[in-house]
Structure 1
Amino acid sequence: MCTVPTFVNVSKEEFIANIYPKRFPAVLRGVDIGDCVHKWNKEYISEKVGNTNVKVHVSASSQLDFLKKNFTYETIQFGEFLDRASRVGVEPKEYYYLRSIGSDRRGREIADIQKQFPEIAGDINIPQYFSNDRFFSSVFRVGSPGVQLWTHYDVMDNILIQVKGRKRMVLFRPSDALNMYLVGDKSEVLDIDNPDVEKFPKFKLAERHECFLEAGDIMFIPALWFHNALALDFGIAVNVFWRHLEVDMYDKNDPYGNKDIVPAARALQMVGNALKALQPLPGEYRDFYTRRLISSLQSSLQRD
Structure 2
Amino acid sequence: MATRTRRTPRRTEALSRERIVEAAVELLDAAGETGLTFRALTERLATGPGAIYWHVANKGELLGAATDAVVAAAVAVAGAGAGTGATAEAGAGAVAVEPGRDAAAAPSKDTAVEPGEDAVVEPGEDAVAAEGSAGASVGAVSPQDRIRSVALGLFDAIEDHPWLATQLATQLSRSPWGPVTPRIFESVGRQVRALGVPEDGWFTATSALVHYVLGAAGQNAVNASHGSGLGPGVDRAAFLDATSTAWEQLDPDDYPFTRAVAAQAREHDDREQFLAGIDLVLTGIAAVAAAHTGAPGQE
Output the TM-score relative to the length of structure 2: 0.24
Write 1 or 2 for the structure with the bigger share of strand: 1
Q: Which has the higher contact order (CA 8 A, sep 6+)?
A: 1
Q: Which has the larger radius of gyration?
A: 2
Q: Which has the higher helix share?
A: 2
